[in-house]
Amino acid sequence: MKLIILDRDGVINFESDHFIKSPAEWKPIPGSLEAIAQLTQAGYRVVVATNQSGIDRGLFDMDTLNTIHDKMHQAVKAVGGRIDAIFYCPHSAESNCACRKPKPGMFERIAACFNTDLGEVPVVGDSLRDLQAAEAVGARPVLVLSGRGKYTLEKGENPEGTLVFDDLAAVAGHLLQS
């Protein structure tokens, strides 16, 4: 099985310093939906793994998160793609839970649900915590410069072997040429 794991904010949709709190605030990065469609059509299972501490902070509720994710599903479907599953952590960093990236709990759940080893599975993110979670489970960290990716790259703390691309469309192009 070909599997790819994507962070949401900064990879699929534009990042916000104030959280994405409503479907109206969710806006796809140009080319990201088409990239997911290309991956889907090439046989990849596309999974989203996202920290959503806005729930724990009381900025939005589960119904709102589900509505945001439904909008994302529909937008991807409209261009011929599919997101096979969305995993999220609703906790704030202060909760010290096992599922919040950079901890590997969310990725361990993905591996269990898809009955697969995540070794060498590309994990695409724009923050150090995405890359650290990928490294913790033996997946392949991939940094995109969209979202907070440029800042992450400048800090220079990325795991060894991290691949770097401008955006999700460039990642898809690379994977589909390989």
Q: Is 130 a catalytic residue?
A: no
Q: Is 61 a catalytic residue?
A: no
Asked if 100 and 108 touch (Cβ cutoff 8 Å), the reply is: no
Give the list of residues 6+ apart from residue 178 with CB closer than 8 angstroms, or none: none
Q: So which residues are the catalytic ones? A: 7, 9
